[in-house]
C-alpha cells in the first residue's frame, strides 16, 4: 500500500534520511512487464519502483527513465527497420523507389510511384496515423 505524500513541513524539518524515506515504496516482481511497471509507477505517483525476486528480496530499482528507454530508439535504427524489415522484407518494396526520412522518431516516406503510395494508405490503420501529401509536400 502506498501512503499519501508527507507534508512539506515534515520534509522541511527532517534531519535524517530515515525521516525522509518512504516507508512503503512501490515494488514489482522482476517478471513484471514494462507496460505494467509503467502503469504501477503512474498509479503510485512515483518515479521509481523497487524490483524484487521470488523470495521478496530487493534485486534493484527501475526508474521512469529506464522504462522510457525501451521505446526511445535512434532515428537511424528506426530508419533501418522501416527500410529493411517493413518495406523490403515484408512488403517487397523496391527501395530505389522509396525514400525513408526519420526525424525525432517520426517517419516520413516519399515514393516515386502512386502504386507504392496506395499500398501505404492500405497500411494506415495498422500504423495508426498517416498524412497524405501531394508532390508539393503539403498535406491533402
pLDDT tens string 46-92: 999 999 999 999 999 999 999 888 778 888 988 888 888 877 787 77
Domain ranges (residues) in the chain: 8-69, 75-127
Give the pLDDT confidence of 91-131 residue by residue, as tens digits. Answer: 777 777 778 888 888 888 887 666 566 666 656 555 554 45
| Confidence (pTM) | 0.49
Q: How does strand 48-52 pair with strand 27-29?
A: parallel
Give per-residue pLDDT as tens, 37-57.
999 999 988 999 999 999 999
Sole residue written with cell 509503467: 38
Cα distance between residue 25 and residue 27, in whole Å = 6
Give which of 52, 8, 6 is closest to 26, Cα–Cα: 52
CATH topology of domain 8-69: CBS-domain (3.10.580)
Amino acid at each position: 500500500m502506498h501512503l499519501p505524500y508527507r507534508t512539506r513541513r515534515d520534509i522541511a524539518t527532517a534531519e535524517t534520511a530515515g525521516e525522509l524515506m518512504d516507508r512503503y515504496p512501490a515494488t514489482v516482481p522482476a517478471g513484471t512487464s514494462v507496460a505494467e511497471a509503467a502503469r504501477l509507477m503512474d498509479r503510485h505517483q512515483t518515479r521509481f519502483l523497487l524490483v524484487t525476486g521470488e523470495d521478496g528480496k530487493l534485486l534493484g530499482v527501475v526508474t521512469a527513465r529506464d522504462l522510457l528507454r525501451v521505446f526511445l530508439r535512434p532515428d537511424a535504427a528506426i530508419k533501418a527497420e522501416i527500410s529493411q524489415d517493413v518495406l523490403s522484407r515484408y512488403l517487397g518494396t523496391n527501395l530505389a523507389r522509396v525514400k525513408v526520412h526519420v526525424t525525432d522518431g517520426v517517419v516520413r516516406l516519399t515514393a516515386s510511384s502512386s502504386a507504392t503510395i496506395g499500398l501505404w494508405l492500405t497500411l494506415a490503420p495498422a500504423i495508426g496515423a498517416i498524412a497524405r501529401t501531394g508532390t508539393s509536400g503539403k498535406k491533402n
